[in-house]
Structure 1
């Protein structure tokens, strides 16, 4: 027996030592990767170079703080993603860089919202003022990528390629049929005729009010899309509408016939054309620098700003609005509130630009952030820049600012509140054979119990809370926008608007991008020289590795398994979030095809 325990303890000790060594080796391995990937290397841009723009990754507001970006690890492809902030900065830098002769807009999936696409497109238009060229090429043109590429001097497509030009459509996934089969009755408490986030739970198709608002804002987005292409390609807008409406472009030859592209070419022909434009001998290799690498090159002397003690803070609020800290992909009320307080109390910060890209979320968390915006506005200018979305709770946190600037195709408004509470009694009793029993000390002690339906009294209580939330929301907007609450209610009711429409009804002050917002903040603070500082501080890679890497790995494998159906998985997973607290959120996830 003594010998047995000896072997057992020896085995346990060996396992512990082996585990410790594996952890140590793993840590050193990760540290080595970070050291190699994160080493600061200045990229030398050779004369007669071409800046290559290829967007095959989701474009976030800020470049992720990930030194392993671009590397492959544990079977996960480490795509080198660049945030919108660096994309715009690099295009601006290339404009005055004597070594950059032009831009090659290479085939891209362009996983970006319409507001983000608009910002990049406008940066390319500004780049062209330098007299440098932009050439676009792709084997497949989606409508989003073509809208971006339409500003190029020349647009080429592979002779056997695919060109999509068919108009916009918007689709909503309705869950009522599935919920009925499962025996789940979703109890809805809401304010707002157009607040249709909850419609998928109790309808099988769009309500008349929802169809009206979707038709309105989708038409506005499509009109802006056609107007932009018409101006860039010098094609009559009505002609573009008819080309799309009749699906006249079915082959690359059709795109050439209707002057949507300038030629049918293979990649080798494009590279030869780029060499010629860049002044490189056809026998030599084309000198290209990728967008991600170009960020590490030295800025031209004329772009190097003078140091100033004055600062403008850019506070990035991107993602769903939630209580607590949140992360780089969500708007945590505590984290964003801290950032606003930090900027407010810093005497060097003379103005704040609040960059909002959010469909909304928790109404309580939205109100917490709104309060900090109000306090900050009392001591220094606050300008809001809206990205793809600034709707519902996203608009709530923006409405107190001195000025609101949006893109024409920003989705905003959606002023309304709702709450969702499932009744799973039939699922438990009839489908699973599960019953419940218990005792309580108060009439409403089990309010919110999902194993039974709400009583009329309980529903009235919840409706009162939602009504009060809507009253707070409309009052905040009325105060911030200097309107009557009755007027805000008339354009509220959960209705969604585009940025272009929002200017006309007074929810937005003017159209523009984040640089316009920065310029507006500087003007309001009487600044001619200033430095930009970004808040909140991005979480370090090691912090994310320790706290959330397992979730990222799981998401990667689920996404790779489900492919395009991953979006439905995300929608179903998001249902649980809607059931926690009253929500000031977009009617649904806007998906435009």
Structure 2
């Protein structure tokens, strides 16, 4: 009995120490997070893709070519670099040299909330601080769409590039559908892989209704609103024909806005024929002018590297300690809450 009492006291002390340490670590993490919020939230990273392509080629040559061929290749490279330096020197002697073409590459991987828009905003602001009309911006876009207002904002970010008259190319390797295509159509040119998914120019909204189940179990559910159409359809209340009609009317109006947006940015598209909610694979999408050319992003960037300097621009946002520890759980809960919120508030989706 005495042993059990001593063991219980020891266990209580141990638990107290662990809890105290946990509280201290939590306070430190919270303080660090507040400091980061006040200070630097993230930073821009830039990588020159030409160097990466050259390194890949050099590695292959080192393994494949014999010594004589490597020497010949090295001699030719030195001769090319010498000619380039001479050309730049001659241009400088004639006056202010014109900078060569630069290509800025951005990545956008979209979820239902278009969360990557925050990063895209920072990257575009950075690029626009330097880019000129002789440069080009390439966006590698992957998205199956999501919330209407979120993808509307993402499209507006891309429009900033067009407004500055800087050529904009969007590359789609896998999917740019619905809200993703809304973003893509802002570009001067859309390139896609042969089996990339494009289109889905439509709007969808869905929600379950538990009114009959609640009524069967004698459960009342009441919604109080101010404004005739503040809530048109609900998950738990009894939906009326008037409410449904208004809801469908709002969907149709959103679809009209989507079609007008596509027609404005891609006048070569027969919007009436493609705005049916259908999707097209790359080859078929080219037939209906949803894209301009069949080409993967890798192929396009590699071809540009022969005549332009290519810079990959990424905005890296630092994650707090709690986010690092519970990132997966946080993301899963966020998706569940978002779906519930969307259904209960009748949000419309691209």
Q: TM-score, normalised by structure 1?
A: 0.42
Q: 1:430 to 1:11 in 2, by over 3 A?
A: same
Residue 539 (structure 1) aligns with: 317
Asked if 1:336 corresponds to 2:120, the answer is yes
The match for 2:192 is: 406
* Aligned CA distance change for structure 1 residues 24 and 478 (closer, same or farther; 3 Å): closer
What CA distance in whole angstroms lies between the structure 2 residues aligned with 1:341 and 1:476? Answer: 23
State whether structure 2 residue 142 is matched by structure 1 residue 364: no
Distance in 1, matches of 2:336 and 2:152, equals 26
Higher RCO structure (Cα 8 Å, ≥6 apart) = 2
Contact 1:383/1:517 (8 A) holds in 2: no
Structure 1 stretches of 5 or more lacking a match?
1-9, 28-64, 66-84, 103-129, 132-300, 559-568, 585-593
Q: Output the aligned Cα RMSD.
A: 4.5
1:515-542: per-residue Cα shift (whole Å, max 9, x none)?
A: 444478x69xxx944240323x1333xx
Shift of 1:414: 0.9
Q: Find 2:249's aligned residue among 455, 459, 464.
A: 464
The structure with the largest helix share of the pair is 2
What pairs with 1:279-428 in structure 2 (closer than 5 Å)?
311-322=102-113, 326=115, 331-332=116-117, 334-347=118-131, 350-379=135-164, 380-428=166-214
State the partner residue of 1:165: none
SS in 2 for 1:583: coil
Q: Determine if contact 2:144/2:180 at 8 Å carries over to the other structure.
A: yes
Cα distance in 2 between the residues matched to 1:513 and 1:362:
27
1:97 and 2:97 are equivalent in the alignment? no
> Counterparts of 2:205 and 2:157 in 1: how far apart (Å)?
25
Deviations 1:223-249 (A, max 9, x none): xxxxxxxxxxxxxxxxxxxxxxxxxxx
Question: Alpha-carbon deviation of 1:445?
Answer: 3.9
Aligned residue runs from structure 1 range 92-491, under 5 A? 93-97=55-59, 101=63, 311-322=102-113, 326=115, 331-332=116-117, 334-347=118-131, 350-379=135-164, 380-430=166-216, 433-437=218-222, 439-483=224-268, 487-491=270-274
Higher Rg: 2
Q: Deviations over 1:329-368 (max 9, x none)?
A: xx33x44344334323434693211111111111222222
| Secondary structure, aligned partner of 1:408 | coil
Which consecutive unaligned segments of at least 5 residues does structure 2 have? 1-12, 31-42, 67-76, 86-98
Structure 2 counterpart SS, 1:374: helix
Q: Give the whole-Å Cα distance in 2 for the aligned partners of 1:437 and 1:26.
A: 43
User: 1:582: which partner in 2?
Assistant: 348
Residues in 1 aligned to 2:27 and 2:158: alpha-carbon distance in whole angstroms: 46
Q: Determine the structure 2 residue equivalent to 1:495.
A: 278
Provide the secondary structure at the position in 2 that maps to 1:397. helix
Answer yes or no: is the 8 Å Cα contact 2:49–2:312 preserved in 1: no
TM-score (norm 2): 0.67
Q: For residues 441 and 408 of structure 1, do their structure 2 counterparts lie closer, same or farther at Cα, with a shift above 3 Å needed?
A: closer
1:513 lines up with 2:296 in the alignment: yes
1:415 is displaced (CA, Å) by 0.9
Residue 528 to residue 481, structure 1, CA distance change in 2 (3 Å): same
2:139 is paired with a residue whose SS is: strand
C-alpha separation in 2, matches of 1:534 and 1:315: 6
How many equivalent pairs are there?
292
**Contact 2:105–2:311 under 8 Å retained in 1:** yes
- Give how far 1:25 is off: 11
Q: 1:429 Cα shift?
A: 3.1
Hey, what's the Cα distance between the residues in 2 that align with 1:533 and 1:512? 19
CA contact (8 A) 2:176 2:197 kept: yes
On the 8 A contact 1:309/1:531 being kept in 2, the answer is: no
Q: Secondary structure at the match of 2:206?
A: strand
What is the Cα deviation at residue 577 of structure 1?
6.9
CA 1:442–1:488 in 2, change beyond 3 Å: closer, same or farther? closer
CA distance in structure 1 between the aligned counterparts of 2:212 and 2:180, rounded to whole angstroms: 36
